[in-house]
Each structure stands twice: as C-alpha cells, then as structure tokens.
Amino acid sequence: MKKVIQIANLDCAACAAELQEELEGIEGVKEASVDFVGQRVSLDYDTEEAFKQSIYTISHFEEVEIVDGNAPRKKESRLKEILSIAIAAALFLPALILELVGGVSKWVSFGLYMGAFVAAGWMVVFAVARNLKATFDKGFHPSRLLDENLLMLIAAVGAFVLGQNMEGAIVMLLYEIGELLQSIAVGSSRGAIEKLMALKSDTAILVDEDGQREVAAEQLTEGDVILLRKGDKLPADCVLLEGETALDTKTITGEAYLREVRAGEEMLAGCVNEGAVVKAKVVRPSSESAVAKILSLVENSTAKKAKPEKFITRFARIYTPVVVLIALFVAVLPPLIINYASGAEWSLWVGRALNFLVISCPCALIISVPLTYFSGVGSLARAGVLCKGAVYLDSLAKVKVAAFDKTGTLTEGKFSVARVHGERAFRLAVAVERGSSHPLAQAFAGEESDLVCTNVKEISGMGLSAEVDGKPVLVGSERLLREQGIGFSPVTSPCSVIYVAEGGEYLGCVEIEDRVKADAKDALTALKRAGVARIAVLTGDTQERAAAALEGLPVDEVCAGLLPEEKPACARGLKAQGMLLYAGDGVNDTPVMAESDVAVSMGSLGSDAAIEASDLVLASDSLSALPRAMRGAKKTKKIVLENIAFSIGVKVVLMVLSVLGFIPLWAAVLGDVGVMLLAVLNSMRMRAKLK
C-alpha cells in the first residue's frame, strides 16, 4: 500500500534524512521518502500497524505536524527569525565599534557580543538541546546529534572560550542570516510548485432540468452539462456541446497562445475559457481529469529519487561524523606531535579546528540537490509534461534513441472513412466494428448498417471475426486475410485499409485516414537538436502505408507490420544503440513501455494502462512538449553536477586553508553560508520557463 502524507514544519534537509531513516526502520515499511522541500512523506507499507507506527513517528518528530493536504497552506512567517537577527545586529554593531575605538571596558563589548550571540543563536541552542534529548530517548545516532546546529554551537562557544568574542558572535549572526536566506529561497520554490494547486477549480455551474446551480467540482459526474462563462476555469475534462470558443491552455501545455475549440472537441480541466459563454458535457470527473493527474504525479514525484539525491543522503550521514573526527585530530594531534606546552599554541590549533568544523557543514549539498530536482519536476509540469520522479529526469537527459507508436502518438488518432470499395463490405465492416474497442473502430461510430453480427471475436493485432446471417465474416488487416488463405488484391493507399471477407470470399475494403499531428515534424526535429541521435516508429501498419503516412517526418527507421507482442523485441534492438525513449498511447503499448528506459504516454488520448506504465505523461498530447522536457532534464542534471562539483570543490579548498591558518572564523562562516546560498540560487535557475 502506498500513501503520501502532507506535513509542515520540516525545514531541515538533515532532519528529513533522519526522519526517513527512522521510518525505514519500522517493520512493515518497505520504502519511505521524506521531501523537506515539498513537505511530503511518501510511504510504501505492508500493514496497517506499520502505517500507524509511521504516523506516530512523523507526528512525534521534532516540531513536525501532519496536515490535511486539501487545506490551504499557511503563509510562512519568518518574523521570529528576522527579529532575532535584527536584535543581534543591533547589539553586535555597537560592540564592534566600541572595540575598534577603544577606551571602553572589554566587559562592555563582551556583554554586547554575548547578547548578540544569544539573540541570534537561541534557536540553535534549542535545536541542539532537542537533539540531545532525542539521543537519550532513542539512542545515539550520528545524523541525530552531529548536525550543522551542533557544529555552529561548538564553533561559537569555542571562539568565546578562546577569547575571540567578535568571532563567536558573528558566527551565529552570519549563520542565522544564511538560514533565513535559505528558508526564503526554499519557500520561494515551494510557492512555485504550490501554484499548480491553482489549476483546480473549486466550483462549477451545473445545468439540469431545475436550471442552473453552483456545485462543488468534485460533485460532477460523467455526462453532466456545465455552463462556462468567459474567464471560468474548467472544473473537469469536458466536450464542447455547441458553437465555438477559445481556451487559454498555458497552465496545462505551457503555451501562451489561445486554442480555438469547436463543438465536439475535448477541453481539459485547468484551462480557462476566454471566448463566448458555452455549454460543455463532462467526460471525466474532476478526480480523473488532466489537472488531477498533474497534481497527483507532481506530489508523488519526490518519492522516486535520482541517484545523486540518494548519494547525497548517504554521503551526509557518513560525512558529518568524519569531519568532526578530523576537526578533533586537528585540535589535538599537531600540538601533541610537535610537543607544544604553550597554551597559545593549543588555542591556535583549536581555533583552526573550529574553522574547519564551520566550513565542513554539508548544507549546500543536502539542500541544493533535492531543490534542483524538485524545481525540475515543477518546470516540466508547467510545460505540460508530468514526470513521475526525479530518477526519470536523469534517464531522460541520457536518451539517444526515441521510438514512437504511430497511431494516436504521431498521428491525431481521430479516424474517419476516406474511401469505400464495395457497398456490402462497408455494411459488414460497420456491423462488426460495433463490437470492437480498437481505435480504428471510431471511424465507423456514426455510420449505419442494417446487418446484425454475432459471436464477435478479436484476433490480436490483426482484426475481428464474426458471424452475419450464419456466414463467417473477417474484418481486419491484409495479414489477417493472408493467414486465413483468402485471395485478394491489396490496395495501395497511404491510409489504413480494412479488408472484409464473407464466407471465405473477399468482398472489398474500407480506407481509414488519420492525419499526422501538426506539431509532429517540428517536435521530432527539436528532439534531434536536443541530442536524440536516432528516431524510429513502431507500427502494425504495412511498410508502404507507414512510409506514406510518415512522409516528411525526420524518421530514421520504420519498424512496420508488428504485432503487439513483437514490439518489445524491436525495442530491445533499439536499446542496443543507446538509452531508449518510447512514446505511445494505447494498452498495446504497455509491454514496449516496460522494455524502454524512459516511457512516455499521451495524457488525454492515452489509455489508463499506458499512463500507469509510463514515466512521463504529456498532459495535452502535444509532442512539442517532449523536446522541452528533454532540454529541461539536461538542464536539471547540469545544475545538479555544477552544485556538487562547486560545493565539494570550494569546501575542500576552504577546509585546507582553515587547517593551514589562512582563514579566520568569521570568514569560515561567510564561506560556508556563501557556498550554500550560491548553490541554492543556482538551483533556482530551474524555475525559469523551459524553451
């Protein structure tokens, strides 16, 4: 069983790692993921007892609260932190001026410095005390006690003990300023994701026999008729009943232009009606709408973490205890080895050890890496691409081969009868296709036939068999008739051709047309510019018809005449050429989706099975969103690597300089805070609109 739990007051990445570790230790919990940026806990558990224990653990972890995910979020208040910093600064600056001017008792400046330390550091002291209590209650664990709060407290108190009063006060002041700026940056990213919640419409105007009335969007069911005024947000996926209107779709597709909609065309929830007052029929309730898919997938995306995120979590658990030991060695070993008896020399190395401790805080990594992935998933969602986890961003960034299903993916998937060869063949086809759920059967939906068929059976990947007036009837592909030994002359056509035989004799055929999507060519060209080396199409059509239908598209390979069970083998061959992306829309695409490295489904046209099996969902079925998603994935991976390399590289240099005595304590704090803020600000580049 899986559950996503909305929480509040978890603002520390190290604390999130500790909570995750505690949850993973509960018997019956298969997997736990704690997202401090999104304020969510994702649980995969076996028993109700495990779930209850998890709830207890979460609600009793520091100040964490479990909140109703549907309730409006409270605006984050940072008044407490701002006041603490303001009071500390008001005490620190006079102390610094008095010390520089001189002529005043050192106790006066000491008192002011101590006041600044208390004003800025009281929250740090409380955090350390809370961790100590948890250590006594739950047993010692490095990640529980040895966090950045303890490191900063040791550094500040150590500075006062060594007589470096100014450094002791400024350690806490700079640290709290850094924490405030970090909180603002992370909160800003949370706000960007939470704007997605604005996609939901809370109410709708229902039109029934009693007239018009306002109802909650959740009350709408399939078949309900609703009224849409200019400026109204669509509360559910629906079909326009009459007339025409214009939709602002940028919240779903990321595109700024208005989309013209005519009677009979589908409109997705979350779009805004910018045209006339119209009526529409609900085709899917709000819980199953495109908006619901977006919100659900984004909320659950943080459960599937990328390798760098997992690495950073494991790294931080080992790293902090190790640097504390190194700092201890720096403070003790050099004086012992060199045999210094002078207290001054001991204070020199203790000071260097404190500098080393301050600089070694892993905040820049454990905050910026998850924040980058979180922002990356959000950026893709705003561009109309729903990513089920950060791990798929990494895979998407490495894609070299892209394969597509033809019907409904590269083509519109809206079939219509183009030409008829044989009147009885057409009547038989209409009668038999009534019993089929295949997309091609849509072409006959509005047609009439006086014939009645019985015993309709599907022949996988080839067509249908039935009985009409006691005679066996076959309706399907060229391959179906050949395998049944029926003689006929194939029709050369760029359309899909459905052949009809009755009583073992060929009667004729029906040509079904399906147009290539308007954005298919530009999307495939953009994919190649984004780094895809080879594009293939997997289809059950004949080679000739597939080639004709795909003429003009930048396709390198067409694998035609494939049955559904043959597609995975073809995908395995393509995977040998590089990381494979496969995009499809139907139930028969799920086996090849499972075989691919990155599976993409079409959001509104796609089947539920395809959406469930996929890693990415194109919410509006727009192929142009796919190259944007790939560029976004590459940008995310680049920023993650930049932050890892920058944070580790700068910190290693600063730690070496601190041991050698080239960096004072205040500069060490400034360096630590600076690295963290630069990494967080670099992460926020992912909030820019994808192009």
Q: What is the 3-state secondary structure (H, E, C) of 373-395?
A: HHHHHHHHHHCCEEECCHHHHHH
Q: Quick one: how far is CA 451 from the chain centroid?
A: 51
| Cβ 428 vs Cβ 473: under 8 Å | yes
Neighbour-count burial of 54, counting CB atoms closer than 10 A to its CB (0-12 exposed, 13-18 middle, 19+ buried): buried
Q: Is 597 one of the catalytic residues? A: no
Tokens linked to 362:
């892993």
Q: Which one-letter DSSP state was computed for residue 411?
A: B
| Cβ 277 vs Cβ 229: under 8 Å | yes
Of 35, 394, 405, 621, which residue is the catalytic one? 405
Phi and psi for 39 in degrees, rounded to 5?
55, 55
Q: What is the 3-state secondary structure (H, E, C) of 202-252?
A: CEEEEEECCEEEEEEHHHCCCCCEEEECCCCECCCEEEECCCEEEEECHHH
Tokens linked to 657:
């300089």
Helix (H) or strand (E) holding 627: helix 625-660
Helix (H) or strand (E) holding 511: strand 505-513
| Cβ 616 vs Cβ 606: under 8 Å | no
What is the Cα–Cα distance from 408 to 125, expressed in whole angstroms?
Answer: 60
Phi and psi for 57 in degrees, rounded to 5?
-60, -45
Sequence-distant (≥ 6) Cβ neighbours of residue 445 within 8 angstroms:
none
Q: What is the 3-state secondary structure (H, E, C) of 100-141?
A: HHCCCCHHHHHHHHHHHHHHHHHHHHHHHHHHHHHHHHHCCC
Neighbour-count burial of 220, counting CB atoms closer than 10 A to its CB (0-12 exposed, 13-18 middle, 19+ buried): buried
What is the Cα–Cα distance from 557 to 640, expressed in whole angstroms?
Answer: 34
Phi and psi for 570 in degrees, rounded to 5?
-65, -40
Amino acid in position 231: G
- List residues with catalytic annotation: 405
